[in-house]
Structure 1
Amino acid sequence: MKRELGIARCGLACCFCSENMTCDGCDSGACPDKDWCENRQCSISKKIEHCYECNEKCRKGLLSKIKPYAFTEFARRYGKEFLLNCLERSEKNGIMYHRDEINGDYDDFDDVETLIEYIKTGYRPIS
């Protein structure tokens, strides 16, 4: 985990980026998606650094997907540092952000609140 890369504007974990090892995060200018990322453009236009700082709880762009939306909601509720702490703890406990290309253990959810609890505790509820 490259903690210094933190969390992307949309909530994705830049600190785990494995798609492009030369990327230094969405504000570095090196992000391969910087020109088309709706969340980046929107947050820049609102003069905020992250979607979790916005008063609107929208689902546009990458926030239409459960993982970035849940990470954004988690950071809104508990703060970015706690999110990074939870992700770091989970990685040490074998929870994978990326397992097969871009999908990992955080992608197997269909409920935002269940995923937020998983991020917080590192435990998947028994159904």
Structure 2
Amino acid sequence: MNDVSNRAVREFSEFLNSIEADFPKPTCTTAYEITMKSTIVSALITLDTEKQMDERFWNHLRVQRNILDFLYTLWLDDDRTLVDKFSTIMKDLVEYDFSIAEEQMKERLNIA
């Protein structure tokens, strides 16, 4: 992981610690923020590992006071969603699970 990814991981850990101190039971809004910030950290690690982002953009992140808050705010202000990608993932998972269940059913019918 590069320094930006490492810093985002550290910031996420600090964020979780502050949430746990302030709210023993997270609210829905807090739960969403936790989920999205975790996803942002994972995305940064993937972008770094797969070399999908130019160094000038990493430098842009390096100068941010809090990378994770910066990216989370950008995400909240953007009108795009993950629905299309999530729908495709769900469809793939259901089709895969169905193929396994179908194969198991065929095996049971052959045994009987």
TM-score, shorter chain, exceeding 0.5: no
Provide the TM-score with structure 1 as the length reference. 0.30
Provide the TM-score with structure 2 as the length reference. 0.32
Higher helix share: 2
Which structure has the higher relative contact order (CA within 8 Å, separation 6+)? 2
